[in-house]
Amino acid sequence: MPKRNRIKIVVVDRDVALFHQTREVFPRDEADVSVEKTLEHAFEKFEESTFDILILTGTAFKFHVGSTIELLEIIATKCPVTQVLILVHSKELPLAFSALRAGSYQYAKLPISDEELRLLVDTALVHRPQSRLNLLLKENSDKPGFEDMVGRSPRIKEVYRQIRQAAHTDIPVLITGETGTGKELVARAIHQLSGRSKKPFVPIHLGALPLDLVSSELFGHEKGAFTGALKNYRGSFERAKGGTILLDEIGTIDEQNQVSLLRLLETKMFQRIGGTRDIKVNVRILAASNEDLIEAIRQGRFREDLFYRLDVFPILLPAVRDRASDIPLIVDHFLKHFNKIYRNDIRGISPECINRLESYGWPGNVREIKNVIHRAVVMCSGGVLLPEHLPKRFFSQRNRRPKVSIQLGSSLEEAEKKMIARTLEWNNNNRQRAAAILGISRRTLYNKISKYNL
């Protein structure tokens, strides 16, 4: 074989035996060999680097066949230079055939000898495309976010992973999270990464519509259907033909429109108000809510059958306080944004101002950060943001993150009880928010409240 440049190989296997074997066959001067347990985790590496060979075993994806096949299809399309090799045991051959249809180059049976492994890789390298194209590679790997979202914390990276998963299916997605967390940004990212990206993205803010206009806005109406209906009107589902529709604040719609939505989800058809003709619909439906829809179901305000139709792929957006390490990145992002708009030259933020920003609870989440930095940039006449450029609420002790002091020698139960009590107090007894901050489920929080008689 002619001398070649050092190649990059990623092995995806739940075990490390194949990884060690590959590293033995291809020593460090020949190849950079890394390992991941799932293709989802390996997929993230393609945003930072281009791999010559992806070796995937049957055990790495047999428990997540659907999502793994979808990711293989993306890699085959967006990064054709990467040759995908499937290694399976005899009983896993159907998985290999599925992977071949998804764009894999070749497969072989396990166990595999060193000689066969080398031959398989060398042959794949000979037949790979000359182009080093990798459309998954970020143009700027230092960009502190994903699409139009900002953050690098583990919580928000998990959201990025879910967005990628959701984008390459066509199932309904329910995006939940507090006001201002960026639910519409998530929906737009799903649309932009999907096969419908060249078709319309139509966001409908249901909570902002008068109740008597919701039906017309969603489904349209015929001329003369009601007073003021002077001509036919195409609703959002017709305008979004072939694309994606976001039903924001889905929990605010009334029973009648819930029934109409349920019928549309089940039959892929609807009728305009005042019409008798069934209209076929081809749209991707995303829904978003900042309220607890399970609680709305208990109160009889939301249909359980509609909820389960929408909640096929749930994405929960964390509040800013639950990803505090992202606050400086978000602040810097909006500082640069408004610097550009107002042609300012604000070069930094004073340490005391940063402390105020980082210790604040941000009940309005990312939207509140944007508004605060917008105001600060407008008020700032120098080159540095100072505390005086912040709103008065930043100087109130109530809005500062409280600290919990636990005396040395306290039992774990005492410490837990105090932490839960203070978190509930700080959040005005909002149990959903307190559970998110504590990193536990609401059910677990309810059990702890009962246990400690809080």
Question: Over the stretch 165-193, which tens digit does the pLDDT of each residue have?
Answer: 898 889 999 999 999 999 999 999 999 98
Half-sphere exposure of 8 (CA within 13 A, CB side): 11
**332-340: long-range contacts, CB 8 A cutoff, minimum separation 24:** 332/144, 333/144, 333/145, 333/150, 334/369, 334/370, 334/373, 334/374, 335/373, 335/377, 335/385, 338/373, 338/374, 338/377, 338/378, 339/377
Better-scored residue on pLDDT, 65 or 90: 90
Q: Using alpha carbons only, how large is the chain's radius of gyration in Å?
A: 26
The answer to whether the CB of 221 falls within 8 A of the CB of 179 is no
CATH annotation of 7-127: 3.40.50.2300
Query: 241: which 2 tokens?
Result: 């033909």
- Domain spanning 151-316 has what CATH number? 3.40.50.300
Q: In the Cβ-directed half-sphere of 252, how many Cα atoms lie within 13 Å?
A: 18
Average pLDDT rounded to a whole number, residues 8-26: 91
In the chain, residues under CATH classification 1.10.10 are 412-452
Interval 100-151: pLDDT, tens: 765 566 888 899 999 999 999 999 888 877 656 676 665 444 456 666 789 8
Taking the C-alpha atoms of residue 142 and residue 144, their distance in angstroms, rounded to an integer, is: 6
Burial class, 187, CB count within 10 angstroms (exposed 0-12 / middle 13-18 / buried 19+): buried
Q: What is the pLDDT of residues 60-88, one digit of tens each?
A: 776 666 667 777 777 877 788 889 898 88
Of 181, 120, 101, 113, nearest to 149 by C-alpha is 181
Query: Closest Cα partner for 162 from 49, 313, 11, 384?
Result: 313
Residue 157, number of CB atoms within 10 A of its CB: 14
Report the C-alpha gap between 253 and 263 in whole angstroms: 15
In the chain, where does the domain assigned CATH 1.10.8.60 lie?
Answer: 323-399
Query: Are the CB atoms for 290 and 177 separated by under 8 Å?
Result: yes
pLDDT of 355? 85
Instruction: Kindly state the tokens that stand for 134.
Output: 């990798």
Ranges of CATH 3.40.50.2300 domains, the chain? 7-127
CATH number of 323-399: 1.10.8.60
Mean per-residue pLDDT of the chain: 85
Q: What is the pTM of this model?
A: 0.62
Question: Alpha-carbon distance 232 to 116, whole Å?
Answer: 68
CATH class of 412-452: mainly alpha
Region of poorest pLDDT, from 86-95, 127-136, 303-312, 438-447? 127-136
Q: Beta strands of 136-206 (E only): which ranges?
A: 145-146, 149-150, 173-176, 201-205
- Burial of 80-119, coded b for 16+ CB within 10 Å and e otherwise, reads bebbbbbbbeeebeebbebbeebbbbbbbeeebeeeebbe
Q: Quick one: average pLDDT of 292-316?
A: 94
Residues of the chain with CATH 3.40.50.300: 151-316
Distance in angstroms (rounded) separating the CA atoms of residues 7 and 169: 32
Q: Between helices 183-193 and 154-167, what is the axis angle to 10°?
A: 40
Residue 317 has a pLDDT of 95
Report the SS3 class of residue 438. Answer: helix
The Cα 369–Cα 76 span in angstroms is 39
**Which residues is 107 bridged to in the sheet?**
86
Contact 27, 3 (CB under 8 A): no
